[in-house]
Amino acid sequence: MAASATGSGPLTLQRVGILGLGAYVPPKKLTNSDLEKMVDTSDEWIRQRTGIQERRILEKSESCSDLAIRAAQAALADARCDPLELDLIIVGTVTGDYPFPSTATLVQAALGAWNAAAFDLSAACPGFIYAASVGTQFIASRRYRRVLAIGAEALTKILDFTDRSTCVIFGDAAGAALLAPFEECRRGEILDVDLYSRGGQPELLYLPGGGSKNPTSAETVGKNMHYLRMSGRDVYRVAVETMGDMVRKAIQKYGKDEVALVVPHQMNRRIIESVIDRLNLDPARVMVNIEQYGNTSAASVPVAFREAVDRGLAVPGKIVLLCAVGAGFTWGSITLRW
Ligand code: UT7
């Protein structure tokens, strides 16, 4: 039973940690040479401009919840946690199964997590960072003890495979973290959560149709408004600026030597390299797996984090920085002590 945060007396904040991590990518690969046969592009251009070699793609019959459920199951298995212990499930996604109900409720049912509340959160690429930040507050305030934060995206379902400027970049995946009181965790105390938004230019990266602004009609379908649209160069500029700021802030606070691992959103290898160059970071401390999966939006950070931990890149006692930026614009970071 969750403890109440609203009793009498001052609230002492609960320290929060990571009890389990999970990731899932669908088995089907879409390589650059596959894309060469679909659209006017080349393996060379994609590798040079983005660092991507291949990405994973869902089958026609599958959807976002299929990814989210598997990542959730992996995180629960990692934590040896029974789904009935879950208090809250938050899915950060912009490609949920339906506009409503939430994908989180689909995950709840598949897991049998009947004691959990469940909702989705729309924060584009930092969706996992936002979800984990919200979950952290619920545990810190002693309202809940087990929160599953998931980043899951079925981006290939909203790609226009005749638009070479977007279809080569994105892929499908999901990642999850089970948050719990730090005393029950072996690792990963959450030290800082920092969230930012700068609205005003939605058209730089958006899905124009299907919402209340442009409800689905024959016209919106005819005008290809149900596919992702992006002004890549503008997003690139904002990404370099904001990712650099978040890493700089962590270095200033904890010291460069203490920051043993940076897990940036995998959006473009050149963006990550530019942050490495500008801040003179050791590339061995910056997780990169974009070559295998492309940009998986909200799934990118938790998938890369899971892989970084498996590779032994997270150093016990040292700082891990997770950071991401995306549509909105929204950006944010989580700082952990591993
Ligand atoms: O998670 C947030 C989501 N968004 C992002 O991650 C996007 C961030 N932006 C980027 O990663 C880069 O801006 C892109 C990879 C999208 C584009 O790279 P770029 O170096 O900024 O290319 P560009 O848009 O300036 O285009 C350069 C040229 C253009 O041709 P011209 O006009 O110079 O003749 C494009 O038409 O490259 C062309 N081009 C391509 N050529 C071959 C664009 N896409 C392709 C392609 N294959 N797939």
The closest residue, in CA terms, to atom 8 on ligand 1 is: 236
Q: Is the pLDDT of residue 307 over 60?
A: yes
Tell me which of 33, 44, 49 to substitute to probe ligand 1's pocket, judged by most ligand atoms within 8 Å of the beta carbon. Answer: 49
Q: Are residues 327 and 290 in the same domain?
A: yes
* Claim to verify: residue 195 and residue 147 sit in the same structural domain: no
Would you tell me how many other CB atoms lie within 10 Å of the CB of residue 200? 8
Closest C-alpha among 89, 116, 85 to residue 104:
89
CA dist 163 and 225 (Å) reads: 13
Give yes or no: residues 72 and 162 share one domain.
yes
- Catalytic status, residue 125: yes
With a 6 A CB cut-off, is 161 part of the ligand 1 pocket?
no
Number of domains composing the chain? 2
pLDDT of residue 4 exceeding 70: no
- Choose the final residue of a domain: 152, 186, 220: 186
Question: Is 289 a domain residue?
Answer: yes
Find the mean pLDDT for residues 76-93. Answer: 98
Q: Phi and psi of 262, rounded to 5°?
A: -115, 125
**Same domain assignment for residues 160 and 226:** no
Q: Is 180 among the domain residues?
A: yes
Identify the band that residue 6 occupies on the pLDDT scale cut at 50, 70 and 90. Answer: low
The pLDDT, as a whole number, for residue 3 is 43
**Model confidence at 5: pLDDT above 70:** no
Average pLDDT, the chain: 96
- Whether ligand 1 lies within 6 angstroms of the CB of 47 is answered as no
255 and 161 in a single domain? The answer is: no
pLDDT grade, residue 8 (50/70/90)? low
Residue 141 pLDDT greater than 60, yes or no: yes
- The confidence band for 10, taking pLDDT boundaries of 50, 70 and 90, is confident
Are residues 182 and 268 part of one domain? Answer: no
Whether 9 has a pLDDT exceeding 90, the answer reads: no
The per-residue pLDDT for 1 is 40
Give the pLDDT confidence score for residue 2 in this predicted structure: 42
Q: Whose CA is nearest to atom 6 of ligand 1?
A: 267
Q: What is the pTM of this model?
A: 0.96
What is the percent of the chain where pLDDT is above 70? Answer: 97
Q: Do 147 and 64 fall into the same domain?
A: yes
Residue 285 pLDDT > 70: yes
Cα 56 to chain center, whole Å? 15
**281 and 238 in a common domain:** yes
Taking residues 173-184, report their average pLDDT: 98
Write the CATH number for 73: 3.40.47.10
Hey, what amino acid is at 104?
A: A
Mean pLDDT in residue range 124-153 = 98
28 within some domain: yes
pLDDT band at 127 (very low <50, low <70, confident <90, very high): very high
pLDDT at residue 7 tops 60: no
From the candidates 32, 81, 185, 265, give the one annotated as an active-site residue: 265
Q: Is 37 in the pocket of ligand 1 (CB under 6 A)?
A: no
Same domain, 219 and 121: no
Could you tell me if 201 and 280 lie in one domain? yes
Within this chain, do residues 23 and 167 fall inside the same structural domain, yes or no? yes
Q: Does pLDDT of 119 surpass 80?
A: yes
Helical pair 43-50 and 269-278, crossing angle rounded to 10 deg: 30
Active site residue 323: no
How far apart CA 301 and CA 278 sit, in angstroms, is: 21
**For residue 271, which atom of ligand 1 is closest to its CA?**
11
Domain boundary among 144, 167, 186: 186
- The answer to the question of residue 291 being in a domain is yes
The domain boundary residue, chosen from 186, 212, 242: 186
Tell me how long the chain is. Answer: 338
Q: Is 124 contained in some domain?
A: yes
Domain annotation covers residue 9? no
Question: Confidence class of residue 219 from pLDDT cuts 50, 70 and 90?
Answer: very high
Enumerate the β-bridge partners of residue 147.
88, 179
Residues 26 and 110 in one domain: yes
* Number of Cβ atoms within 10 Å of the Cβ of 300: 31
Model confidence band, residue 11 (pLDDT cutoffs 50, 70, 90)? confident
Give the domain extent around 59.
16-186
